[in-house]
Amino acid sequence: MKPIPEPLFRKMLITVLAGAGCMLFGVAYFFAAKDGILLLLSAALLINCLWRAFSFYRIAAKECYELVEGTCVGVSAGLVGKLKTVRMMNDVGTETTLRLAKNCKFKIGDRYRLYFDNRNQYRTGSGFIDKALATGGFLGYEQVTAATKDESIDG
């Protein structure tokens, strides 16, 4: 089995830690205030976080993700909304336009590797709508350095 890509591993870890933190808070509050409802809600949130982390693990283990790798050639953020447009160009010159969250930091001229869940492919016929719907399947990204690129060629 191939190792889990670092952005997917980070997403799994943060999801588990968030659920465990909520559960820890719920247990502490239960002992302080005897609030059983919050304890049950914390347990439900922990179970949900564990299920979500397991689904990320399944995506990584079964390699059910699409990999887009290329050089960032353009970034434009809209004035309204939570998405920005990122243009990537691969090694053969094919340009891909993606709509991603504004909190993703891209620098023009740097190489990136983006991971998308390929189980939820939406095709409406409109390129703009397809790009907007695909943002729900965005799993993460990483900057590709020379050492990372050499590892991907060897492995």
Say which CATH class 65-154 falls into: mainly beta
Mind listing the pLDDT tens digit for each residue in 21-73? 999 999 999 999 999 999 999 999 999 999 999 999 999 999 888 888 999 99
What's the pLDDT at 130? Answer: 57
Give the span between the Cα atoms of 57 and 11, in whole angstroms.
Answer: 10
Q: Are strands 111-117 and 95-101 parallel, antiparallel or unpaired?
A: unpaired
The DSSP call for residue 118 is T
152 or 83, greater pLDDT: 83
What's the pLDDT at 132? Answer: 52
Give the span between the Cα atoms of 115 and 153, in whole angstroms.
Answer: 18
Mind listing the pLDDT tens digit for each residue in 79-134? 777 888 889 998 898 888 888 888 889 999 999 998 988 876 555 555 555 555 55
What's the pLDDT at 149? Answer: 54
Domain residue spans of the chain: 6-61, 65-154
